[in-house]
Amino acid sequence: MLGKRSLVTAGLYCCVSVLAWAQYTEPVPVRAGEGLSRSVTRSTKQTAARAVKVTICHKADSLGYHQITVVSPAVPAHLAHGDCVVDDAVPCTVDRCDTILGCVHAPDNSACDDSNACTVDTCDPATGCVYTPISCDDGDACTDDSCDPVAGCQHTDNQLCGACCLSDGSCDDNRTTGECAAQGGEPQGPGTTCATTQCCIARGESFCQSLLDCCDDGLPLTCSNGGKCCGPIGEPGGCDDATDCCGPLDACVGNTCCIARGETFCQTVSDCCLDGEGPMACVSNKCCGPIGEPGGCVDAADCCVPGSACNAGTCCIPLDTSGCADSTDCCGFGFPLFSFCDAGTCREPVIKP
């Protein structure tokens, strides 16, 4: 049988327990017809209050999509229903809920600007910002290429290139030795520029205005009337081949420019190519084979007198053609064809029976 003290202690304990239960529980009335009243603990309400709020693009069959906010524990159910989370957690996308399309995540490249001139900044909707290095290669072997984060691409002269003098006297800057040689030019050395280089026109090339434009190599040289730096006719050492000579029909014999047999523009016989193959003369500015001298021709074009013929390597005057000085100038002089020079015309003698 409990004593009075025990009853008092038990009563106090009961009251404390009831008060403790009352502190954490509050009754929630329910609507009529739902049966017994139910209660929600204060701790459950506090947990719901602390849950993260998530913006959902909710699909309503008749209204399309519209934006709502739910607590995070409710998100899985909405996703299963066909809804989507508006925020894709990608910092460089602009997220919105479209009434027709649902969640839209538009990439915004400006959100990825890293203030670095050496990168191309883009937004990948799946992974976020992408920073692609730019190429500063200018394709110029004369520069070292680099990138400064503020100024961008830098192209610094690497002193491997220089001025290149071309055969026509013009100048190209920033050419490697190989590039200049491929153009048929003369490299002026690393670090040189056309601004400080005086280019000249090579022997055999055109466009000179005076002899000062031609490259002085210590050999006979002139600037022809046609504007070509060339070897003068008859001066030894003026050519390596015919292209070095002034005239279009000139030849180069023994490093001397000369006029070939059968060609014109000679002033004296010394202008003609004395090839040692036969007699030569300069007649009416033509280097030619004299009439009646053996070895003076290969064909009639080599002969000095118009209308003459080349008979077995000798220029001669055909029968009934003027131009002979004596009978030896006529073709067929002597046996078996007899001819003679009759007042400057080669005639065949008349043999009377």
**pLDDT tens digit sequence for 78-110:** 999 899 999 999 999 999 999 999 999 999 999
* pLDDT tens readout for residues 132-184: 999 999 988 888 999 999 999 999 988 888 999 988 888 998 888 888 989 88
Answer whether residue 175 is part of any domain: yes
Q: What is the pTM of this model?
A: 0.47
My answer on whether 55 and 87 are in the same domain is: yes
Answer whether residue 187 is part of any domain: yes
My answer on whether 191 and 206 are in the same domain is: no
User: Which stretches of the chain drop beneath a pLDDT of 50?
Assistant: 1-42, 335-336
Helix (H, G, I), strand (E, B) or coil at 214: strand
For residue 14, the surrounding DSSP H or E stretch is: helix 4-24
- Encoded tokens for 93: 């996308």
What is residue 62's predicted lDDT score, i.e. its pLDDT?
Answer: 77
Answer whether residue 123 is part of any domain: no
What is residue 131's predicted lDDT score, i.e. its pLDDT?
Answer: 97
My answer on whether 205 and 190 are in the same domain is: no
**Beta-carbon count within 10 A of 293 CB:** 18
Answer whether residue 25 is part of any domain: no
My answer on whether 57 and 76 are in the same domain is: yes
**Maximum C-alpha span of the chain:** 200
My answer on whether 191 and 208 are in the same domain is: no
Answer whether residue 185 is part of any domain: yes
CA 346 – CA 332 distance, rounded (Å): 10
Are 142 and 174 a contacting pair, CB within 8 Å? yes
What is residue 190's predicted lDDT score, i.e. its pLDDT?
Answer: 87
Following CA atoms 43, 45, 46, 51 in sequence, which dihedral angle do they give, to the nearest 10 degrees? 130
As for how many domains the chain has, the answer is: 3
Question: Whose structure tokens read 């400064």?
Answer: 148
CA 3 – CA 347 distance, rounded (Å): 186
Answer whether residue 303 is part of any domain: no
CA 224 – CA 110 distance, rounded (Å): 67
What is residue 63's predicted lDDT score, i.e. its pLDDT?
Answer: 80
Residues spanned by the domain of 217:
200-249
What is residue 20's predicted lDDT score, i.e. its pLDDT?
Answer: 33
My answer on whether 171 and 184 are in the same domain is: yes
Answer whether residue 9 is part of any domain: no
Answer whether residue 11 is part of any domain: no
What is residue 210's predicted lDDT score, i.e. its pLDDT?
Answer: 92
My answer on whether 211 and 164 are in the same domain is: no
Edge-to-edge strand list for the sheet holding 186-187: 171-175, 162-165, 186-187
My answer on whether 217 and 180 are in the same domain is: no
What is residue 337's predicted lDDT score, i.e. its pLDDT?
Answer: 61
- Encoded tokens for 90: 């990608």
Bridge partners of 25? Answer: 41
Whether the ω angle into residue 336 lies within 30 degrees of 0, i.e. cis, is: yes
What is residue 41's predicted lDDT score, i.e. its pLDDT?
Answer: 46
Are 164 and 191 a contacting pair, CB within 8 Å? no
What is residue 202's predicted lDDT score, i.e. its pLDDT?
Answer: 87
Q: Domain ends where: 72, 107, 142?
A: 107
My answer on whether 62 and 102 are in the same domain is: yes
Are 55 and 75 a contacting pair, CB within 8 Å? no
